[in-house]
Amino acid sequence: MELTTVWFVAIATLWTGYFVLEGFDFGVGMLYRVLGRNEPERRAAISTIGPVWDGNEVWLIMAGAATFAAFPEWYATLFSGFYLPLFAILVGLILRGVALEYRGKRDEPVWRSRMDAMIVVGSLLPALLWGVAFGNIVRGVPLDADHEYVGSFGTLLNPFALLGGLTFVAVFVTHGAIFLALRTTDDLRVRANRLATRTGALGAVLAIAFLAWAQALRGDAVSVGIAIAAVVAFAGGLVANVLRREGWAFAGTTFAIGLSVVSLFVALFPDVMPSTLDPASTLTAVEAASSAYTLKVMTIITAIFMPLVLLYQGWTYWVFRQRVVVA
C-alpha cells in the first residue's frame, strides 16, 4: 500500500476510534441528568465515564495532529474552512471537560446544576456539530483552486449535513444508554436499557437515511456494503438490547458507529475534501500528503507506539470493568 493510503487509513482509524469511544461518553453526558432521578444515581452514571473520557478525547487530538503531520493541506483547508463549527465544538469540549472534573468538587446543588448544564451542552453540541462536519466533508464544500473554503457558515448547514448532525446525536445517545445499562445496576440499569430501545429506533431511522443519502452522493460498492453492515450491526445491537444482552448490545452499537465512519471514509477516498465547485479544486489524499520521508518516519513510530497505547488504554477499561453501584 502507498504510504499516503496508509495514512488515510490511519486518519480514518483515529476518527473511528474517537467516535466509538467518545460516542458513548457524549451519550452518557447528554443522558445522565435526565436518566438519573437523584444525585446518587447521577453521580453513579457520570462515574462510569470518569476514568476514561479524557483518554477517549485524546483520539480527537491525535486525529487532528496526525492530519496536520500527514496531510497538512487537509488540516489547513478543513480547520480554516469549518471555522465556526470547530469554534463551537471547542467551546463545548472546554465546558464539558472542566465540568466533568469540577462537578464533584463542591457538594452544593446549585454548583452541580451548573456543571450538569455544562456537561449536557458540552456533550450535545460537539456530537451534533461533528455530524454536521462529517456530512459536509463527504458531501463536499465550495473550494477554490487553492483549496480554500469559499462558502459561508450557512453553506455548512445544508439538509444533508444537518441530518448527519441529528444522526450522530441519536446514535451517540443510544450508544451511551447501552453503555450505562452495561455499567450500572438496578433501576438505573433498567431505565437506561429501556431508553436505549426508544432512542435506538429513532437512531436507526436517521442512520439509515443518512448513510443511504451519503452513499447516493458518492458511494461505491465497497462503501455501500460497509454501510449495510453498519445498519445490520446497529439492528443487532438493538435486538440484543431488547433481550437485555448488554454486552452484545454494546458490541452492536460499537460496530455500527465504527463501520458507519469507515463507510464514509471509504466513500470519500481518494479525495479528502471534495469541492462542490470545479471538480479540479477537489483536494485529494495525494495532493494533501506530506513528503515520503515524513510519512515513513511517522509510520515506523506509530507502528511501535500505537499498540502500546491500545494496551494500556484497554487495561484501564479492564481495571474499571465492574459495574458502578448507586451509593
Partner 1 sequence: MDTLDLARWQFAITTVYHFFFVPVTISLVAITAGLQTAWYRTGKEKYLRLTKFYGKLFLINIAMGVVTGLVQEFQFGMNWSDYSRFVGDVFGAPLALEGLLAFFLESTFIGLWMFGWDRLPKLVHLGCIWMVVLGTQLSAYFILAANSWMQNPVGFRVNPERGRAELTDLWAVLTNKVVLVTYPHTIFAAFMVGGAFVAGVALWHLLRRPDTDRAVFRSALKIGASIVLVASAGVAISGDLQGKVMTEVQPMKMAAAEALYETEKPASFSAFTIGTLDGSKEIFSIKVPYLLSFLATGHFDGEVKGINSLQDAYEQLYGPGSYKPNIPLTYWTFRLMIGVGMASAAVALWLLWTTRRGRAPARWLIWLAAPLPLLPLVANTFGWIFTETGRQPWLVFGLLPTASGVSPGTTSGEVITSLVGFTALYGVLAVVETKLLLRTIRAGLAGTDAPPPDTEPEQPDKPLSFAY
- Cα–Cα distance measured from residue 10 to residue 303, given in angstroms and rounded to the nearest whole number: 11
CA–CA gap between residue 63 and residue 79 (Å, rounded): 12
Closer residue to partner 1 (CB): 136 or 263: 136
Which of 2, 34, 101, 190 touches partner 1 by CB under 8 A?
Answer: 101
Piece of 145-153, 233-241, 242-250, 269-277 that binds partner 1 (CB under 8 A): 145-153
Residue 273 is a binding residue for partner 1 (CB under 8 A): no
Name which of 72 and 236 has its Cβ closer to partner 1: 72
Query: At which residue does the C-alpha cell 454548583 appear?
Result: 111
Out of 12, 31, 78, 262, the only residue in the binding site for partner 1 (CB under 8 A) is 78
Number of chain positions touching partner 1 (CB under 8 A): 75
User: Minimum Å distance from CB 222 to partner 1?
Assistant: 28
Please list every residue from 148 through 177 that binds partner 1, using CB under 8 A: 148-150
Residues 46-65: x where in contact with partner 1 by CB under 8 A, - otherwise, as a string: xx--xxx-xx-xx-xxx-xx
Amino acid at 240: A
Contact criterion met (CB below 8 Å) for 167 and 203: yes
Give the distance, in angstroms, between the CA of residue 65 and the centroid of all CA atoms in the same chain. 16
Q: Does 316 contact partner 1 by CB under 8 A? A: yes
Q: Which of 2, 80, 222, 243 binds partner 1 (CB under 8 A)?
A: 80
Q: Which stretch binds partner 1 (CB under 8 A): 45-53, 132-140, 154-162, 167-175?
A: 45-53
The whole-angstrom separation of Cα 160 and Cα 70 is 28
- Reading the block at residue 2, the C-alpha cell is 502507498
Cβ neighbours for 261, distance < 8 A, ≥ 6 positions apart: 12, 15, 16, 19, 20, 134
Question: At closest approach, how far in Å is the CB of 205 from partner 1?
Answer: 33
Interacting span for partner 1 (CB under 8 A) from 18-26, 104-112, 228-236, 264-272: 104-112
Query: What's the CA gap between 178 and 24, in Å, rounded?
Result: 8
**Quick check: 322 binds partner 1 (CB under 8 A)?**
yes
How far is it, in rounded angstroms, from Cα 180 to Cα 173?
Answer: 10
Is residue 81 a contact point for partner 1 (CB under 8 A)? yes
Q: Which stretch binds partner 1 (CB under 8 A): 82-90, 127-135, 217-225, 251-259?
A: 82-90
Measured at the alpha carbon of residue 121, what is the angle toward residues 242 and 318, in degrees to the nearest 5? 50
How far apart are CB 215 and partner 1 at their closest, in Å?
28
Rounded distance between C-alpha atoms, residue 134 and residue 161, angstroms? 7
Q: By CB under 8 A, what part of segment 177-196 binds partner 1?
A: 185
- For cell 443522558, the residue is 31
Q: Which stretch binds partner 1 (CB under 8 A): 207-215, 234-242, 264-272, 309-317?
A: 309-317
Report which of 279, 281, 299, 283 is spatially closest to residue 74, judged by C-alpha positions: 283
User: Is there binding between residue 280 and partner 1 (CB under 8 A)?
Assistant: no
Angle at 287 between CA 9 and CA 162, to 5 degrees: 65
Burial of 220 (0-12, 13-18, 19+ CB in 10 A): exposed
Rule CB under 8 A: choose which of 87, 117, 201, 247 binds partner 1.
87
Whether the Cβ atoms of residue 96 and residue 114 lie closer than 8 Å to each other? no
Name which of residues 226 to 255 contact partner 1 (CB under 8 A): none
Window of 97-105, 207-215, 239-247, 257-265 that interacts with partner 1 by CB under 8 A: 97-105
Select 132 or 224, whichever has its Cβ closest to partner 1: 132
Contact flag: residue 93 with partner 1 (CB under 8 A): yes
